[in-house]
Amino acid sequence: MARSSSSSQSAGARARARRAVIVGGIRTPFVKAFTDFTKMDTIALGDAAVAALLDRFPVPRAELDALIWGGVILPGAAPNVGREIVLDLKLGAHVEAMTCTRACASGLQAVTLAAAAIERGEADVVVAGGSDSTSNAEIKLPQKWVHALAPLALGGKPKPADYLAVLAQLMPITDLVPTRPRIAERTTGEVMGEAAEKMAARNEIGRAEQDEFAARSHHRAAAAIASGRFDEEVCTVVTPDGGKVYADGLVRADTSVEKLARLRPVFARAGTLTAGNSSPLTDGAAAVLLMSEDKARALGFTPRAALRSWAYAGVDPADQLLMGPALAMPKALARAGLSLADVDLVDMHEAFAAQVLSILKMLGSDAFARERLGRDKAVGSVDPARLNVHGGSLALGHPFGATGARMVTTMTNELVRSGKETALLGICAAGGLGAAAVLERIG
Amino acid sequence: MSDFLVDLSQHPVFRQTVKQLGLPLPMPEKLRRARGPWEDRPLADRAVVVFTAGGALGNTLATALAPAGAVPHVVGEATDLRPFLSPGEAFGRPPVHHAPGASPPEDLRAHGLVFDATGLRTPAELRALYDGLHPFIGALARCGRVIVLGRPPRTASQPAAAATATALEGFVRSVAKEVGRKGATAHVVYVAPGAEARLTPLLRFLLSDRSAFLTGQPWSIDATAADAPETPFAPSYVRPLEGRTALVTGAARGIGAAIAAHLAAEGARVVCLDRPGDETPLAQVAAAVKGVPLALDITDAAAPERLVDFVKDPAGGGGRLDVLVHNAGITRDKTLGRMSPEYWDQAVAVNLGAVVATTTALLDEGLSDDARIICLSSVSGLAGNVGQTNYSASKAGVVGYVRALAPLVAGRGITINAIAPGFIETRLTAAMPAMTREVARRLSALGQGGEPRDIAELVTFLASTGGKGLTGQSLRACGGMFIGA
């Protein structure tokens, strides 16, 4: 059962020879699905973020090597969103591009792929990021339609009898209704909220704790917006109908534990998860500019932070679906040669308040450390003062593919502004996956 | 093979009608069986009620249930909860406490009821069994499990304690018959002092969907089969047969083919043996499991030697054999007065003679230490049957062989057990007269026949590293058949 994390050294040490650095990042405002960005698909959102990034950090186009993009709901007709962005923005045909998907960790995956490519010497300048438009999720046509109609559509000259045969195949008619996309696990059929609801029960996380955490996320995000500190990382987006979107649309400065306590549970009748302590469906995009350290200096940019380590982990979805970061974060810390107490900031993706609080509990548990991590002592506790200092996905929203790049951007800026040294990132993802990374300030 | 009544019984309208009319029709519950290879968490989110009853196995149960994904409900004193807290925290399965004597909450569907009866020593103390299970038996889910744990009667210091321990057996046999209608099963497991660690794998197996067709069965867990000093007991629950080589006789079809497939699915390299003449189906099975076919008449005098050579051959057995499954069997039915000597000889030679001869040869050379030997016996063989004097003699002989050989090979860490299948839906039983088949199916606690995979699941469990606690036993896989007990 116990897993050892001893083999995990070295990735950081080995990479020092050629370091990938973060020059800067930017994101679109995050807005509720089916509001301002309804007419913009994930490619259009990506276009907006990357265009803004290259406005703020004007890289000579000839220097740009690659674009790596993360996304979860990919458009069926153009799944390589990254390449579409390059072509839309005319960044230059030479800018090769890919699109990766690792559920909610897709954005961080894009960033670490970019860092790995730079550190291997495959590229010097890479744009990495991610986007998602829940408003443009494709309604899925049941496979039965596709298979039944294929002979008519693709099979030469159909006779009347062929049409009848197709009709016969299409019974019963209820199988043919297009289905709404659900954020459900393919293996267990469980909706993510139900999984988080179970985690709340199993880790004994109460409703009041969750609401308190959610309220804090909103208050901190609102304070960050009010202070103007997000101005350097949020761009203005012009929508197709000419409107301008300047600011995040989901943060509620005026919410309170009392208001959140009035909401009804949404995933189970006697549950504790509400719309208030779960992250909402969101449209948005975020992009990060990474370079090799030498190239950044040669082009006159200031390297601001580097990825000291990262780690991914997988657990049985039937175990606790969203516990992945409880395994990935200790792994990334070990690779960075740090303990949890050493890091100055912790930034966790807030899929659900219950999920963050569950993971914090696991990190603080000796029993968990013994059985699941093969170490004697708990990983450690996280002081709320250094956790998600400018709010998180509960308040800001969670465009699946964008969240990782948003967190990298915000934490890079926070390290630079505060002069602190290190930040630990943790993201949970569908399929029982966890992602983590350690950022360190440069200079 | 489809069982019309099992399929029909799934229909709510049919169930309702039969109930209201009071028809004397059996309505067997469709058994929930596992699909695919072993999983890390076979009991994910299933409620398992543990009755501590002053028993000694609280720690073992606590460390077995949470990692398997079960949610433990503990009926006992508040202090009995203590061992469950740390595994609960590590695996996100905090225990739920119920005071002794309290009725279960109305919404509880208990997948398992596990009673630790190791603390019961007198007939009067047996009352705890009634007190604990009486209020909870109604909360047992469909296809649930009742498991009673005791100390082996032979280790009891007092006759009264031995009586009390043996009483558990009668208790679970009756429970098995009572809960069989809802597809649920019951077992008693006798755990020898000092062998507690070996209980966990059996508990996982019995509580899982892989034991669907086993019921009313006593199991013994002991430390007879020795652990090598450098390899302590460390069962693996995912791909438990990785790196192991298995030989299955009679592998061309039916139960043998299912066994080969299951062993291969858990990572074993499988040598599929059947008689010359069945090469085509044998080759198909071997190809399907990515194994090696071997056409060999096991009753031939030279067979043991040829088998040893094949095992040693790198292209054959690959050097050493870890799992040996004697599945090949034949019937040559005639009443004693009408039976020809050839019929007698053939049945005894295949079913018993070849088992002894090949096992003896492979024990000398070919079988690894820590190997697992599994022999197929038969419930109808044990119970006796008109026209089966030869068959019953050979299948009963297997039971005696297993019992006698187990202590002799225990020092090498080798285990040997027999499985006695009841009515299994195969090509053979499909050829039975319809009425006989119908009677054979229904005369059991579960009211239905088994499938080849039910036998294969038990073989796989016995073949796994975790099966080490069992040796010298004959285990029925019969759905609680009313005959042959």
Please give, rounded to a whole number of angstroms, the shortest distance from the CA of B204 to a CA of chain A: 15
SS3 (DSSP) at A210: helix
Of residues A236, A251, A304, the one with CA closest to residue A282? A251
Tokens of A338: 């740090």
B89 contacts A316? CB cut-off 8 A: no
Chain A interface, best mutation among B85, B91, B200, B236, by max A CB count within 10 A: B91
Query: Which residue of the set A100, A104, A218, A219 is catalytic?
Result: A104
E strand intervals along A114-215:
125-133
CA dihedral A69, A73, A76, A82 (to 10 degrees): -10
* Alpha-helical regions (H) of B328-433: 341-348, 354-364, 379-383, 389-409, 427-430
Q: Which residues in chain A come in under a pLDDT of 70?
A: 1-17, 140-141, 150-156, 158, 166-167, 169-183
Give the nearest partner residue to A316 out of B40, B85, B87, using CB atoms.
B40
B39 contacts A319? CB cut-off 8 A: no
* pLDDT score of B346 more than 70: yes
Q: Provide the CB-side half-sphere exposure for A330 (13 A, CA).
A: 27
Domain with A108, as residue range(s), is 9-136+279-441
A370 close contact with B: CB closer than 8 A: yes
Query: Looking at beta carbons, which residues of chain A come within 8 Å of B45?
Result: 198, 318
pLDDT digits (tens, 9 = 90+) for B93-117: 999 999 998 899 999 999 999 999 9
Give the nearest partner residue to B92 out of A1, A320, A370, using CB atoms.
A320
Please give, rounded to a whole number of angstroms, the shortest distance from the CA of B321 to a CA of chain A: 28
- Determine the average pLDDT of the residues in B117-123: 96
Query: Looking at beta carbons, which residues of chain B come within 8 Å of A204?
Result: 94
Please give, rounded to a whole number of angstroms, the shortest distance from the CA of A276 to a CA of chain B: 24
Is the Cβ–Cβ distance between A248 and A226 less than 8 Å? no
Give the nearest partner residue to B86 out of A1, A358, A367, using CB atoms.
A367
Return d(Cα B86, Cα B62) in angstroms, integer: 9
SS3 (DSSP) at A71: coil
**Token pair 């073949």 in the structure block, residue:** B463
Is the Cβ–Cβ distance between B107 and B141 less than 8 Å? no
pLDDT digits (tens, 9 = 90+) for A104-141: 999 999 999 999 999 999 999 999 999 999 998 887 66
pLDDT value of residue A11: 46
**Neighbour tally for B44: CB within 10 Å:** 17
State residue B9 phi and psi, 5-degree precision: -65, -15
Query: Looking at beta carbons, which residues of chain A come within 8 Å of B85?
Result: 367
pLDDT value of residue A179: 59
Please confirm, yes or no, whether A104 is among the known catalytic residues.
yes
C-alpha of A47 from chain center: 18
| Residue A76, Cβ density class (10 Å: 0-12 exposed, 13-18 middle, ≥19 buried) | exposed
Query: Looking at beta carbons, which residues of chain A come within 8 Å of B93?
Result: 202
Q: Which residue of A has its CA nearest to B236?
A: A1
Give me the architecture of the B245-477 domain, per CATH.
Answer: 3-Layer(aba) Sandwich (3.40)
Query: Looking at beta carbons, which residues of chain A come within 8 Å of B89?
Result: 365, 367-368
pLDDT value of residue A15: 44
Tokens of A74: 């990919």
In a domain, A359, yes or no: yes
pLDDT digits (tens, 9 = 90+) for B436-465: 888 888 889 999 999 999 999 999 999 999
In a domain, A152, yes or no: no
Query: Looking at beta carbons, which residues of chain B come within 8 Å of A376?
Result: none
**Token pair 């657990």 in the structure block, residue:** A315
State residue A213 phi and psi, 5-degree precision: -65, -45
Query: Looking at beta carbons, which residues of chain A come within 8 Å of B87?
Result: 367, 371
pLDDT digits (tens, 9 = 90+) for A179-204: 555 667 888 888 899 999 999 999 99
pLDDT value of residue A72: 95
Return d(Cα B405, Cα B411) in angstroms, integer: 11
A370 contacts B90? CB cut-off 8 A: yes
> Could you tell me how many CB contacts below 8 A there are between chain A and chain B?
44
Treating both helix axes as pointing N-terminal to C-terminal, what angle do A353-363 and A324-336 enclose, rounded to 10 degrees? 50
CATH number, domain of A310, equals: 3.40.47.10
pLDDT value of residue A17: 67
* pLDDT score of B5 more than 70: yes
SS3 (DSSP) at A438: strand
- Determine the average pLDDT of the residues in B197-226: 97
* pLDDT score of B366 more than 70: yes
Of residues B168, B51, B174, B172, the one with CA closest to residue B101? B51
Q: Could you give the number of structural domains in chain A? A: 1
Return d(Cα A33, Cα A242) in angstroms, integer: 18
| Residue B199, Cβ density class (10 Å: 0-12 exposed, 13-18 middle, ≥19 buried) | buried
- Determine the average pLDDT of the residues in B80-95: 95
Q: Which residue of A has its CA nearest to B87?
A: A367
Q: Which residue of A has its CA nearest to B93?
A: A202
A2 close contact with B: CB closer than 8 A: no
B92 contacts A323? CB cut-off 8 A: yes
Give DSSP secondary structure letters for A247-302. Answer: S-SS--TT--HHHHHTSPPSSSTT----SSSBPPBEEEEEEEEEEEHHHHHHTTPP
**Token pair 């004597």 in the structure block, residue:** B101
pLDDT value of residue A180: 57
Give DSSP secondary structure letters for B189-220. Answer: EEE-TT-GGGHHHHHHHHHSGGGTT--SEEEE
pLDDT value of residue A221: 97
Pairwise pLDDT comparison (B15 vs B165), residue with the higher score: B165
CA dihedral B387, B389, B392, B394 (to 10 degrees): -130
Question: B33-221 adopts what CATH topology?
Answer: Rossmann fold (3.40.50)
Check for a shared fold between B33-221 and B245-477: yes
In a domain, A154, yes or no: no
Mean pLDDT over all residues of chain B? 93
Give the bridge partners for A67, in sequence order: A97, A127
Q: Provide the CB-side half-sphere exposure for A224 (13 A, CA).
A: 27
Please confirm, yes or no, whether B343 is among the known catalytic residues.
no
pTM (whole model) above 0.90: no
Cα angle A165-A170-A176, degrees, rounded to a multiple of 5: 160
Buried b / exposed e across A213-228, counting CB within 10 Å, b at 16+?
bbbbbbbbbbebbeee
A363 close contact with B: CB closer than 8 A: no
Query: Which residue of the set B190, B237, B343, B391 is catalytic?
Result: B391
Helix (H) or strand (E) holding B56: none
Enumerate chain B positions whose Cβ falls within 8 A of a Cβ in A: 39-41, 44-45, 67, 69, 85-87, 89-94
SS3 (DSSP) at B459: helix
A83 close contact with B: CB closer than 8 A: no
B90 contacts A367? CB cut-off 8 A: yes
E strand intervals along B30-183:
47-51, 71-75, 96-98, 110-116, 140-150
Give the amino acid at A283.
Answer: D
* pLDDT score of B87 more than 60: yes
pLDDT value of residue A156: 65
Return d(Cα A173, Cα A186) in angstroms, integer: 24
Please give, rounded to a whole number of angstroms, the shortest distance from the CA of A318 to a CA of chain B: 6
Please give, rounded to a whole number of angstroms, the shortest distance from the CA of A55 to a CA of chain B: 48
A202 close contact with B: CB closer than 8 A: yes
Q: Which residue of A has its CA nearest to B43?
A: A318
Beta-strand pair B245-249/B321-326: parallel
Return d(Cα A224, Cα A231) in angstroms, integer: 10
Give the nearest partner residue to A316 out of B41, B90, B93, using CB atoms.
B41
**First vs last C-alpha separation in chain A:** 42
pLDDT value of residue B176: 97
In a domain, A271, yes or no: no
Is the Cβ–Cβ distance between B168 and B149 less than 8 Å? no
- What is chain A's length? 443
In a domain, A118, yes or no: yes
In a domain, A239, yes or no: no
Percent pLDDT > 70 in chain B is 98
State residue B444 phi and psi, 5-degree precision: -155, 160
Residue spans per domain, chain B = 1-30, 33-221, 245-477
ipTM reported for the complex surpasses 0.85: no
pLDDT value of residue A356: 97
- Determine the average pLDDT of the residues in B185-210: 97
